[in-house]
Structure 1
């Protein structure tokens, strides 16, 4: 994204986050683009990955001695 496009886009997204999420500017600037997209519900269904599948979770639970 060119610098000329960044400022208007950032201002628009900041305003959107303020209105919909009630975020203050510092909360907007502290968020990653992925966090903002998730908070606004912009991620397409099925695109968010947990990073931990059921099989891996089961294996970790089996090795956990503090159950």
Structure 2
């Protein structure tokens, strides 16, 4: 189950309430970014989305000597 912007609220609630031991009031006072920071996942590797892929393709086009596209 996901909510606005694709957030998995049940998983976020489990992480905040069970893993971090937050009270419901403390959990709901946090932003998703604050919760992510508290869980230590703020710097975790994220998937490469189409914008990132497009930027990489523009920076490093698939060409070889004598066979440019």
| Length-normalised TM-score, structure 1 | 0.51
Decide which structure has greater helix share.
1
More relative contact order in 1 or in 2 (CA 8 Å, sep 6+)?
Answer: 1
| Length-normalised TM-score, structure 2 | 0.50
Unaligned runs of 5+ in 1: 46-67
Unaligned runs of 5+ in 2: 45-69
Give the number of aligned pairs. Answer: 42
Distance in 2, Cα, partners of 1:5 & 1:43: 20
- The structure that has the greater radius of gyration is 2
Give the ranges of 4+ consecutive aligned residues of structure 1 lying more than 4 Å apart after TM superposition. Answer: none
